[in-house]
Structure 1
Amino acid sequence: MMAHKKPFFYIFTFFMLSICFVPIFGDTNGQILIRFKGFLSNNNALNNWVDESNLCNWSGLLCTNNNFYGLRLENMGLGGKIDVDTLFELTNLVSFSVMNNSFEGPMPEFKKLVKLRGLFLSNNKFSGEILDNGFEGMVNLKRVFLAGNEFNGHIPFSLASLTRLLDLDLHDNSFGGNIPEFQQNVFRFFDLSNNQLEGQIPISLSNEPLTSFSGNKGLCGKPLNPCNISPTKSIVHPNSPPSTQGNRNKHKRLLRVLIVVLAIVLLASIVALLFIQSRRRRRSVKQLKPILGLQQNSQKTQSFKETQSIDLAGDFSKGENGELNFVREDRGSFDLQDLLRASAEVLGSGSFGSTYKAMISNGPIVVVKRFRHMNNVGKNEFFEHMEKLGSLKHPNLLPLVAFYYKKEEKFLVYDYGENGSLASHLHGRNGIVLNWSTRLKIIKGVARGLSHLYEEFPKQNLPHGHLKSSNVILNNSFEPLLTEYGLIPMTNKNHAQQFMASYKSPEVTHFDRPNGKTDIWCLGILILELLTGKFPSNYLRHGKGGESSDLATWVNTVVREEWTGEVFDKDIMGTRNGEGEMLKLLRIGMFCCEWSVERRLDWKDALAKIEELKEKDSEDESFSYVSEGDLYSKGVTDDDFSFSVVTDSHVDKIGNVTD
């Protein structure tokens, strides 16, 4: 009798467990997010978290191809609890941002979210010490932003041990103690300023900018002042001679003066820091009116109605200078006042000026770029050139919608690219991994867009002039759109030489002679960046680029001297049956980067070779990168990879090349 009861008992138990656990493990992303929202206070900004069929339209959600991958809950006045256990159920979560909110207390246990690539907590009220194991296991983290909080204690060793970390921002906290040895010695962005750190700066960080360490009184060593060993203080005996006693009194007076001076400097620094911090908090989401030179309201905060009532100041109140000049007939659905009333978000600040995302009420989302160095031509010529740019129509060019003319500066209005820039995806800002097929699609689109510019501006040496990954915008299907093209004729030459990508090429670096293949050099650098995942560090230096740390030189060295598959980005190394096509693109990129202009590909050949590439190898082309012998077995030799590197002996050769 008992034997018959046991199967029934097991079935009943399984049934009850199923009833208990199915709701937990079967929750959709929408249900999980709604539970997460329940822990937040002041969450009115998330009122549209309702319809799960439109999940990617929810406020603050990051999606690609309608697939959720991150949360960007910034500038929403949120508070309450960040329930990490609920976030843990979001299996696709790789980016989390709550910057510019009102969260407080200790840092939550984000270490449970081991898939995170980006963690952004800046400008909240988090406080206390972060435990040494606070980042333990977060091996995928590339960007950590904790600035503008109240953290104290030492910088956790688990943070310093992250090998993939590219950007670290800890400024304006109260971190103390010594700076640990970071496993990642080369950062794209690094800021420890305005803390209470002390001791010698690690040698591995000595090449970071001085501003990365300013505001830490106890720090020394490069790039700050050297660490000097204080001399042994002499002991003054009570019966010392009067002259010695007088010296001691003199030292005391000097010490008092020094203390007073330091107190004044400290007070001034605190006032300045408070002012800077206040401005930073106001900049993240703001109206475009102050940007265009409008009058300011005396109140600290304004409703939309109050903001709309502000009139344009001075020359902006009427006339041609007070209007948006549309260059596309299909985009005139809003005017300057609509743009000024739009809520705006600062996307970044580049070499030309700031870039803003403007969400026009009952209208489109546009990007407004501010240019302060466009005084190279007169007003009529500027208007004509903008009309020409507006007439360009190509699926791989970000359309210019309108412009706003002012003598001192100009504002260009573009369509908005839903997925940000190629640079943000390649270097970890958005936490999305671009696979080989997507990267191939992107580079084909870039080549097509650049070729169209060559066709439209046949008499210009630099039809684009500023081609780099941050100027390649991706739409919702990850099609590339080139931006900031065709601006060389409008830009002051001194500024172009300092900042624009084309002026980092070897022919401009050494001879100030751009030619019809200079933009192709930029295309080659972009190809190598896309394949290797490495940022071209010479783009960060002001002035003409040097070859010492050029990405093309590095690739050539690795390929010729120590060939392995490690030249490719780890995120595409697992690609099946695509290695041969990746290698072909690498060779195309290297020939586009030829230092000798004569040997460099022209735009037609570069486009034709890129168009021939496929996602997968044909059966007779597939091979692995295990050894150099495998390459030779497929007929690949050193000559297939070699390209000339500029040295003193090459100068004459390049100098003799004509435009």
Structure 2
Amino acid sequence: MFKLLTFALLFISFFYILDKARCNETVTRDALLKFLAELSNNNSTILGTNSGWNLTSEPCKDNWLGVTCNMKTLSVEKIILDGYDFSSGAFDATTICNVEPIADTFVFLSLENGLLQGKNLDSIGRCKHLTHLFLGGNRFSGSIPQSFLRLNNLKRLDISNNELSGVLPDLSRISGLIEFEAQNNQLSGEIPEFDFSNFVAFNVSFNNFSGLIPPEGDRFPVSSYTNNPLLCGAPLARKCSSLSEDSESDDHDKPKSSFSRDEILMYSGYFLIGLAVILGILLCVYKKRKQKKQKKKESRIEEMKKMATIYHDTTTSMDQSKKGTSNSDISSAVISSNESNTAVSQSLVVLTSPEAYSGLRFENLLKAPAELLGRGKHGSMYKVMCDNPKMTLAVKRIKDWSISGSEFKKRMQKLNQIRHPNVLPAVAFYSSRQEKLLVYEYQNNGSLLQLLQGIQRDQTFHWSSRLSIAAGVADTLAFMHQELQHDRIAHGNLKSSNILLNKNMEPMIGEYGLMSIAEISTTTTTSNSNYVFPIADENVGAIFKQDVYAFGVILLELLTGKVQNNGIELASWVVSVLREEWTVEVFDRTLIQEGASEERMVNLLQVAVKCVNHSPEARPSINQVALMVTTIRDEDDRSIDASASTSTII
């Protein structure tokens, strides 16, 4: 009797769950159809006859156009309907954000360039899980509602090219926001104090913003703020003090004085006489300064020649040893006897935070103690301890790079414009005919290579940390490839020694873009972790696929705990073991002892094997790789959270 009752309860529960799932699917379908009806003004054919948007199909099961679902739970995650003519319709977020089956899983909404008008923009705050909201290129008007502040998970927001007005809500309270595009509107008031250090894109140009640009806002170029007449502060040339004076003078009307013709001629004469005197004084001052500057330049040239001679003997001994505490290699390499005049005439170009590095000079690098950190095929890296200003820097000396000084400068400026929190930015650079130096902030926590080498000395490197680093590097590479694909600038020398760790032990990709296309195509090995990057041709796709191959080797290092001189050797060994179906044999023993999920390690291994495919065309794009690695990381995080919850309950 008891067994019969149990069976009946299970039977009823099964049909209850099944019925609830069907109900959710019906509610989701009806809500989406109503949403489209609002957008298109009941024009059901606007998406085409094969779009799938009808009552006889299901959004997730039948792959509706523009709808992306989680196929495990059959729940809607993304709606992307860009470029359709919705000019006769209106946007009403209530239709989807008030429906639980959608609002609880909905993370991505894009309706760009649809000429939409806003009907109920305030209700967007109910889609609390949204991470991406793209509404650019429409006709939304009025102010942005405070309900936007409830979008705590929002990372990217684009409301550009609309007719929005009024004061922005304090969007800086959304801590995870990394992109904000609001150009070409009529927004006013002050710009919120965003945490610009996290931003990868920011633009509020062509609006009516006023007041001071918030701290660190100068990380973005003038074009991000242009055509806001009342906006002031760096990077704009308009100073806030002068702006307030102009405003004050406009507020107080002064009576106009009337002068006679004789008075005008008299004052004009006085003005011309005064102008002539001032020009004469300025001419004398200019000549004296020019003479003084010439003398100073000649003395500096003589001083630099002496320094080159002093450092020459020390350079020979430094070249014979791996490390040292002399700066001779930098100074003698840059200032040779036959180009000392050229070296002195070139200056150190500061890229990042000019205020913080205003005292940094080329001479400081020459005089400061330096420690050789490593040598490679394309140059050497030094740790330099400057006293004035007091700071520790990492200086990369690049040799035998067939690129002109002007092209080198353009590349450095381009890389300085494309910022990402996990790409180590160059602080400054120096360029002469034969030598090029790059200056970075020194990272005290070392590199991924050192973490991997520490495994051999029984140091701990947990699975979650490895997975987090892998996901961070993949996301960063995806961003850089996207931004620099038209400039044909890949990393070209990606390896574990070039992945540094900041103070929070987060990965920072160093030396991005220091190899030209020709060098990437002809490279067979690089120093330290000498990865080999096989390629078929020099097209843009193949160039960027070198980074995918190198990232695959890094994944193999994280999984195996092995660091070999040749990435091909490691990849070949892993593939050969997998061919014999000894999958577990490739994993680092410490991960297995730690209890890391074998399923997720195998999934990550499959991603790595795809990346190191010998054919560039067969390798996935870095965007696909980043999505796969991030999915594995998120599954691992959810597993950890679930375990923690279970432990708390017990």
Regarding TM over 0.5, the answer is no
TM-score range, shorter chain: 0.3 to 0.5
**TM-score normalized by structure 2?**
0.44
Higher helix content, 1 or 2: 2
Which protein has greater RCO, CA pairs closer than 8 Å, 6+ apart? 1
